[in-house]
Amino acid sequence: MPSPSPERLVILDRDGVINQDSDAYVKSLDEWLPYPGAIDAIAHLSRAGWAVAVATNQSGIARGYYDKTTLAAMHDELERLVSEAGGEIAHIAYCPHGPDDGCNCRKPLPGLLEQIRTALGMTGLAGSWMVGDSLRDLQAGDAMGCRPVLLRSGKGERTLAKHPELLAEGSETRVFPDLAAFVDWLLARQR
């Protein structure tokens, strides 16, 4: 598969964007609950010729709440559901480390996005879209030249309450209620 152009790449955070988030962590496949419309939105993007990747902090592994096998089961289910809906996920990158582990992959650092860039054989990510529900998602994207999108789902409303500048006139951050609304806007803009 040829490398996607950055302008045709959407990078998604996972918890709070694709599936319901939990302050107690999403620790099992049973707790991994996709938002209504999120799977179809990903498949819709994919069918329209966009590459979709996922960049997710998963410090629950370092904290001992679940293991990599459990995380793989969640990601296998995500890929299965998207495939059933007629789409595909180009790559899933995750950080298994805790906040004090000193890794370079935990967002807001851009290591996960670097992993995606390498996995997809791209020279850069400038101009691609970084979609998240927290400031650290946007900061990781910003470090790689991605266009920022904040969703109000997940921790998005909390993020906006703490960072009202994201809604200020002149902010480059685009804000949408959820993933489906962003995808509808992006595909309509493309027409």
Which residues form the catalytic set?
13, 15
Q: Whats the size of the chain, residue-wise?
A: 191
Asked if residue 146 lies in contact with residue 117, where contact means CB atoms within 8 angstroms, the answer is no
The backbone region for 171, taken as left when phi is positive above 0, alpha when psi lies in -120 to 50, beta otherwise, is beta
Asked if residue 60 lies in contact with residue 25, where contact means CB atoms within 8 angstroms, the answer is yes
CB count, 10 Å around CB of 68? Answer: 11
Measured in whole angstroms, how far is the alpha carbon of residue 50 from the centre of its chain? 14
CB count, 10 Å around CB of 173? Answer: 20
HEC readout, 152-185: CCCCHHHHHHHCHHHHCCCCCCEEECCHHHHHHH
User: From CA 175, how far away is CA 191, in angstroms rounded?
Assistant: 20
